[in-house]
Amino acid sequence: METKDLAQAATSNLNLNELSSEELEKLLEQKRSQENTERLKRREAYEGIRADVVSRIEKKAREVEAYAKELFDFVSEETEAFYQVMKEYGQLRNENQMSYTISTENFKVEVKANKVKKFDERADVAAARLIEFLQGWIQKSKSGVDDPMYQLGMTLLERNKYGDLDYKSISKLYDLEERFNNPEYSAIMLLFRESNVTERTATNFYFYERTKMGVWRKVEPSFNRL
């Protein structure tokens, strides 16, 4: 029976008992091929839809990200300029005051500046040495990369949004020194401590609006807060 006949046999009332074993095998193979083709088409369609959705979301997200950066720069410049005006008019409690609030009847802007501990370039060397140490550690561990000590160490080495090592996270690495009980780990922690010699000022802005009830409500320009 030819291939076309086999296809017809699959959709007709033909008694399959009339087919030879070879013909049945071919018929089954055709069915598998057809199902595989249909499965691939569905997968391609799904992946196409997924790519389109992600692409459109990414485009909007990039636009919002750019606008948020523009907003941050705008608020930074405006508040810095007004800060100088406050100085001229003697509106600061002291010369070192960095945090303040400016407002109208229905809207206010809160500027909060904090000193944040930062690491110098020696911390990058310490981080590289720690990664090498942890990779050597998991080679001796039965759990491999699933070793909780390894995972914790790598997590604490993640950098913040400014691309800097987080002071609080590195401080937690100090607490692991006794658990590792290793001269190399202790030397790395010492290098981290020595590199923690500089500070920077982190400035955050908060916005509030007065509700009809006269209560100040925080305005958060984030769709996760909507």
Average pLDDT (143-149) is: 79
Tokens of 159: 């950098």
Confidence band for 3, pLDDT divided at 50, 70 and 90: very low
Quote the CA–CA distance of 127 and 159 in Å, as a whole number: 11
Please, are residues 157 and 169 in contact by the beta-carbon 8 Å criterion?
yes
pLDDT tens-digit series, residues 167-182? 888 889 998 898 888 9
Confidence band for 13, pLDDT divided at 50, 70 and 90: very low
Choose between 210 and 13: higher pLDDT: 210
Instruction: Report the percent of the chain where pLDDT is more than 90.
Output: 50
pLDDT tens-digit series, residues 42-65? 999 999 999 999 999 999 999 999
Q: Phi first, then psi: give them for residue 216, nearest 5 degrees.
A: -80, 125
Residue 10 clears pLDDT 80, i.e. is over it: no
**Lowest-pLDDT choice from 13-27, 124-138, 194-208:** 13-27
Residue 103 clears pLDDT 50, i.e. is over it: yes
Please name the residues in contact with 209: beta carbons below 8 A apart, sequence gap of 6 or more: 106, 107, 216, 217, 219
Average pLDDT (128-143) is: 86
Average pLDDT (83-106) is: 93
**DSSP readout, the chain?**
--HHHHHHHHHS---GGGS-HHHHHHHHHHHHHHHHHHHHHHHHHHHHHHHHHHHHHHHHHHHHHHHHHHHHHHHHHHHHHHHHHHHHTT-SSSTT---EEEE-SSEEEEEEEEEEEE--THHHHHHHHHHHHHHHHHHHSTTGGG-HHHHHHHHHT-B-TTSPBPHHHHHHHHTTHHHH--HHHHHHHHHHHHH--EEEEEEEEEEEEE-TTS-EEEE---GGG-
pTM of the model: 0.58
75-89, 130-144, 149-163 — which one is most confidently predicted on average? 75-89
Residue 5 clears pLDDT 70, i.e. is over it: no
